[in-house]
Chain A
Amino acid sequence: MSEVKNNNTLEKVNTTEYTSKDFASDQDVRWCSGCGDYSVLAQVQRTLPNLGIKKEDLVFVAGIGCSSRFPYYMDTYGYHTIHGRANTIASGIKVANPELSVWVSTGDGDCLSIGGNHFLHTLRRNIDINIILFNNQIYGLTKGQYSPTSFHGQISKSSPLGTVEYPVNPVSLALGAEGTFIAKSIDRDPKHLMEMIKRTYLHKGTSFLEVLQNCNIFNDGAFALYTDKETKEDNVLYIEHNKPLVFGKNMSKGIKLDGWKAVVVDISNGKYSVDDLLVYDEKNKELAFLLSEFSENPALPMPVGVFLDIERATYEGELEDQIANAKKNADDLSVDNLFKGTSSWEIK
């Protein structure tokens, strides 16, 4: 049996039944060669056998965009819907049948631009779905226009002189939308990505995982700073619950709080030690906000990992409770009496 402890209602299955191949559909994968999407697909297919979910209970839902072709490549139930609406269709599926394990694959345009409104409301409702955002900071399927996460000044086909708009920060947005699970990973770090996919599943409530994903055709190298061997260690901060925030080559640097401000300190020269560093707490929303804004400050590393994992009742759980209680407390469940209403009269 799966070692994974989870509080989902899904029936556990012997995980040796499945291998990653069981989750691959018979359809040819049609992403560009070298696309970061392949990594996300592979890590999802590798992680699923370890989660103890029956294949038939899985539903992958997507909107429109490169990442939204994802459901076609999964041998599970899948629904490739319309632009921006994946979160709503996934919400409808999960509320209608809470027994299903519902996943959304979406992109920065799909989720944050045309579907921005739904993203906000899905998070605050805390419907137990798992959203994986493939963030490549560009519109790929329409061939290279800037997206809501493109950096200010980014040159693209629709911004030949650079964009004049400031990008949205997906983690901060999710925090502001009262998300209960918010995590971030990188396509080029399969081990971390698998761990984050597993955590995304384990959380009960809406889980949001942002994956930095390289579009090697229209925005190649957008995340090179975080993926190139020479630079990544000094620029990526792996956050872990109850652990001090250390990073850098040989783990020589750390994050220390200076009042309300986070600063980078050197812990290799004896002036500061690990004991001086900020210890991360994924249950602490203030800390999550603090770290989500690191990416706005070039002097600070970019955090990846679980920013927040807190418990709150799910929408579908409360709805099922309302229905169960209403049935239990009703003295009359006759639909005929509902039709009759409270002020009917007889004509003889």
Chain B
Amino acid sequence: MEEDKSVLPLPLKVNTSKHSSNFKPEIKSVADVTIRFAGDSGDGMQLTGTQFSDTIASYGNDLGTLPNYPAEIRAPAGTLYGVSGFQVHFSSRDIYTPGDEMDVLVAMNPAALKTNIKDLKKGGILIANTDAFDSKNLRLAGYENNPLEDGSLQEFIVHAIPITKSTVEVIKDMGLSIKVAEKCKNFFALGVVYWLYSRSPEHTFSWIQEKFESKPELIEANTRVLKAGYYYGDITEIFATRYEVKPAELPSGAYRTISGNEAVALGLVAAAEKSGLQLFLGSYPITPASEILQYLSGYRKYGVKTFQAEDEIAGITTAIGASFAGSLGATSTSGPGMALKTEGIGLAVISELPLVIINVQRGGPSTGLPTKMEQADLLQAIYGRNGECPVPVLAASTPVDCFDMIFESARIAIKYMTPVILLSDGYIGVGSEPWKVKKLSELPDITAVFKTDPEGFQPYSRDEFLARPWVKPGTKGLEHRIGGLEKQNITGNISYDPENHHIMVKLRAKKVRNIANDIPDLDVTGDPSGKLLVLGWGSTYGAIASAVENQRAKGRKVSHAHLKYLHPMPKNTGKVLKNFKKILVPEMNLGQLTKLIAIEYLIDSIPFSKVKGLPFKASEIESKIEELLKTKD
């Protein structure tokens, strides 16, 4: 990499005693690195992590990211519960997760060290901001002695750097307040890491220019600090080794990084474009789903209508109203919001209107763990309503998959005149990975047909897919009434007739069950039969795929199948499962898919539960696989 040190504005006065002009650290090539930036929730760790991942993504590495932040916006500085983190896993190989263990931890204060050090590999690199390790912060983090000095971190490579002082020093002539100056310190840390992993900070320089366009002093300050951090490694010689991660071999084309929530927003736009419908999102802000509302609110020029409702109920019911009016209605939420939308979903079911409902799941019950991940709303999605109330349920397995699955949800909703629930979760909703950008022309058309001919019109007549006709109010001669009361078959008039109710309940169930004829088969990675299948759904995909790949590389007979359609399930699901002696089902719940498999196919599977608000590590699944393959039977 070409390095132009002339851009450095000021001579640095920090720890330069060891500087010698012929110092050249060794550059070591590694395949796979996981870095976590951790600090106070006001320290800018999310920004730092995002900048780093954008930079390495554009270099061509495959990557996965995982923000981890507290529910409090600015928790008191220095506290354990106020620590915010951002993990980046990048590689020269194809990867599936944000990484199990860290190679590098950047700890901006003692609390960040305390809460994150357990995930740092033995021999891993710790970069700590010594300036924050004062007696107050040590006390807040529960340290009796300074861990940077008491020898307790011997198993790691510790780089104690006065990040705050170095930051303030490099911009002290600018006359900024100490508070503003200190705020730049995350960019010093970022600069150090860029240098350590042989990445140019150019991308972040451009970002700074754009971000602070109207504040030239902040452009100057942040640029200087980032450069100072970047050259710190050269000047101080504290690092004996620099690293390089070669680009991954990805298919050619345009790429970008994308989070699951942004992918949902774009996928909805895609579905609206391909169906020729106007998109209407009714939504109430809720963590971790709010970004979907935010992204779509920015798409006015594409004709997107967003409605920030007064509550979750109005979020779904305005969307139902929009669907009745002939738009593609959608609503986004998380668990507690799903509970409130329940009655609205029932109305959409009996009204037989298309509607897309996105649940970015979080830890529950009740308010639970708003910023943590869990997949415990599966049974709620399938069964959680009054009456016989069938709804197709789909699940996205990765951030990128959110785009495909929301598009698929919209296709099913429109074709079958039904609400569809898409399950995402906090892990893939806010996590991001590179996306080989799709073009509209690559996507299939979605056919939305509005009935316009009054001849023989019956609101509850059905087509070959059992879907009833969709009529736009404003169409002459097709005036009709629908509603939440039971419908008479075909006419749609109110009916309390017992036989009719039985028919309608069965018709609605059959319509949804038949969707199984219209979805892809369940694929198996690895052998199609054998001793052990790991079956997953949703965001456990990355951890399971890595674990199974690693185990297979070691010669172990294990396969992986991942359900994207939970209700109805693909037609070959039972057949696939029956080909294996044992089925392991890792889930971030107490075994909900296990129950479904038992009910649907009378198959006993082995639940592997982790309900800690954290994703599975591939290594945890690998241990379980090894354990199961060892047992004789």
- B310 vs chain A, min Cβ distance (A): 4
Q: Which of B47-61 contact A (CB under 8 A)?
A: 54, 57-58, 60
In the complex, what residue of chain A is closest to B481 when comparing beta carbons? A78
Complexed CA–CA distance, A344 and B346 (Å): 41
Instruction: Give the chain A neighbours of B301 by CB distance below 8 A.
Output: 323, 326-327, 329-330, 333
A56 touches B325 (CB 8 A): no
Q: What's the dominant secondary structure at chain B's contact region?
A: mixed
Complexed CA–CA distance, A120 and B437 (Å): 43
Instruction: Give the chain A neighbours of B317 by CB distance below 8 A.
Output: 81-82, 85, 88-89, 92
- B313 vs chain A, min Cβ distance (A): 6
A56 touches B474 (CB 8 A): yes
Question: How many pairs, one residue from A and one from B, have CB atoms within 8 Å of each other in the complex?
Answer: 201
A92 touches B58 (CB 8 A): no
A79 touches B482 (CB 8 A): yes
- B159 vs chain A, min Cβ distance (A): 30
Q: Is A232 engaged at the interface, CB distance under 8 Å to the other chain?
A: no
Instruction: Give the chain B neighbours of A322 by CB distance below 8 A.
Output: 300
Q: Is A299 engaged at the interface, CB distance under 8 Å to the other chain?
A: no
From A139-147, A153-161, A185-193, A334-342, give the one contacting chain B.
A334-342
From A96-104, A198-206, A259-267, give the one contacting chain B.
A96-104
B482 touches A56 (CB 8 A): no
A96 touches B254 (CB 8 A): no
Q: Is A72 engaged at the interface, CB distance under 8 Å to the other chain?
A: yes
A80 touches B482 (CB 8 A): yes
Q: Is A184 engaged at the interface, CB distance under 8 Å to the other chain?
A: no
- B346 vs chain A, min Cβ distance (A): 8
Instruction: Give the chain A neighbours of B255 by CB distance below 8 A.
Output: 344-347
Instruction: Give the chain A neighbours of B476 by CB distance below 8 A.
Output: 54-56
Q: Is A31 engaged at the interface, CB distance under 8 Å to the other chain?
A: no
Known contacts A56-B475, A92-B329, A344-B254; A80/B493 CB under 8 A? no
Complexed CA–CA distance, A184 and B592 (Å): 54
Instruction: Give the chain B neighbours of A59 by CB distance below 8 A.
Output: 325, 473
Instruction: Give the chain A neighbours of B305 by CB distance below 8 A.
Output: 95-96, 319, 323
Complexed CA–CA distance, A341 and B58 (Å): 13
In the complex, what residue of chain B is closest to A74 when comparing beta carbons? B481
- B538 vs chain A, min Cβ distance (A): 24
B477 touches A82 (CB 8 A): no
- A107 vs chain B, min Cβ distance (A): 16
A56 touches B479 (CB 8 A): yes
A335 touches B57 (CB 8 A): no
Over the window 291-314 of chain A, the binary record of Cβ atoms lying under 8 Å from chain B Cβ atoms (1 yes, 0 no) is 000000000000000000000000
A56 touches B347 (CB 8 A): no
A71 touches B256 (CB 8 A): no
Q: Is B100 engaged at the interface, CB distance under 8 Å to the other chain?
A: no
Complexed CA–CA distance, A118 and B280 (Å): 19
- A125 vs chain B, min Cβ distance (A): 9
Q: Is A229 engaged at the interface, CB distance under 8 Å to the other chain?
A: no
Instruction: Give the interface residue-count category, chain B.
Output: 35 or more
A339 touches B318 (CB 8 A): no
Q: Is B319 engaged at the interface, CB distance under 8 Å to the other chain?
A: yes
Complexed CA–CA distance, A27 and B487 (Å): 13
Q: Is A271 engaged at the interface, CB distance under 8 Å to the other chain?
A: no
Q: Is A348 engaged at the interface, CB distance under 8 Å to the other chain?
A: yes
Instruction: Give the chain A neighbours of B303 by CB distance below 8 A.
Output: 323, 327
A92 touches B254 (CB 8 A): no
In the complex, what residue of chain B is closest to A327 when comparing beta carbons? B301
- A88 vs chain B, min Cβ distance (A): 4
A85 touches B438 (CB 8 A): no
- A332 vs chain B, min Cβ distance (A): 9
Known contacts A76-B479, A88-B318, A347-B251; A97/B326 CB under 8 A? yes
Q: Is A213 engaged at the interface, CB distance under 8 Å to the other chain?
A: no
In the complex, what residue of chain A is closest to B311 when comparing beta carbons? A117
In the complex, what residue of chain A is closest to B327 when comparing beta carbons? A96
Instruction: Give the chain A neighbours of B323 by CB distance below 8 A.
Output: 92
B309 contact from A57, A81, A88, A338, Cβ within 8 A: A88
Q: Is A33 engaged at the interface, CB distance under 8 Å to the other chain?
A: no
Known contacts A27-B493, A326-B300, A345-B255; A80/B483 CB under 8 A? yes
From B3-11, B265-273, B547-555, give the one contacting chain A.
B265-273
Q: Is A250 engaged at the interface, CB distance under 8 Å to the other chain?
A: no
Instruction: Give the chain B neighbours of A319 by CB distance below 8 A.
Output: 305
Q: Is B520 engaged at the interface, CB distance under 8 Å to the other chain?
A: no
Q: Is B237 engaged at the interface, CB distance under 8 Å to the other chain?
A: no
A340 touches B484 (CB 8 A): no
In the complex, what residue of chain A is closest to B303 when comparing beta carbons? A323
B437 touches A339 (CB 8 A): yes
Q: Is A20 engaged at the interface, CB distance under 8 Å to the other chain?
A: no
Complexed CA–CA distance, A326 and B300 (Å): 6
- A292 vs chain B, min Cβ distance (A): 23
Over the window 461-476 of chain B, the binary record of Cβ atoms lying under 8 Å from chain A Cβ atoms (1 yes, 0 no) is 0000000000011111
Residue from B247, B301, B307, B343 whose CB has the most chain A CB atoms within 10 Å:
B301
Instruction: Give the chain B neighbours of A88 by CB distance below 8 A.
Output: 309, 313-314, 317-318, 321
Complexed CA–CA distance, A85 and B253 (Å): 48
Known contacts A56-B478, A82-B343, A85-B344; A347/B252 CB under 8 A? yes
Complexed CA–CA distance, A326 and B303 (Å): 9
A345 touches B256 (CB 8 A): yes
Q: Is A16 engaged at the interface, CB distance under 8 Å to the other chain?
A: no
B254 touches A343 (CB 8 A): no
Instruction: Give the chain A neighbours of B320 by CB distance below 8 A.
Output: 81, 89, 92
Q: Is B299 engaged at the interface, CB distance under 8 Å to the other chain?
A: yes
Complexed CA–CA distance, A3 and B140 (Å): 76
Known contacts A90-B321, A97-B473, A343-B58; A81/B484 CB under 8 A? yes
B479 contact from A55, A93, A118, Cβ within 8 A: A55
- B199 vs chain A, min Cβ distance (A): 13
Over the window 280-323 of chain B, the binary record of Cβ atoms lying under 8 Å from chain A Cβ atoms (1 yes, 0 no) is 10100000000000000001111101010111011001111111
- B579 vs chain A, min Cβ distance (A): 37
A93 contact from B57, B310, B473, B481, Cβ within 8 A: B473
Instruction: Give the chain B neighbours of A121 by CB distance below 8 A.
Output: 309-310, 314
B318 touches A72 (CB 8 A): no
Instruction: Give the chain B neighbours of A346 by CB distance below 8 A.
Output: 252-255
Q: Is B203 engaged at the interface, CB distance under 8 Å to the other chain?
A: yes
Q: Is B503 engaged at the interface, CB distance under 8 Å to the other chain?
A: no
- B483 vs chain A, min Cβ distance (A): 3
Residue from B251, B252, B439, B474 whose CB has the most chain A CB atoms within 10 Å:
B474
A78 touches B480 (CB 8 A): yes
* Besides A56-B479, A77-B480, 11 new A-B residue pairs in contact (Cβ under 8 A), listed by A number: A72-B483, A79-B321, A89-B317, A92-B307, A97-B473, A120-B310, A329-B301, A341-B256, A341-B437, A346-B253, A346-B255
8 contacts between A and B (CB under 8 A): A78-B479, A80-B485, A89-B318, A95-B305, A95-B307, A96-B305, A345-B60, A347-B252
Give the 5 A-B CB pairs with smallest separation, nearest first: A92-B321, A80-B483, A92-B318, A78-B481, A96-B322
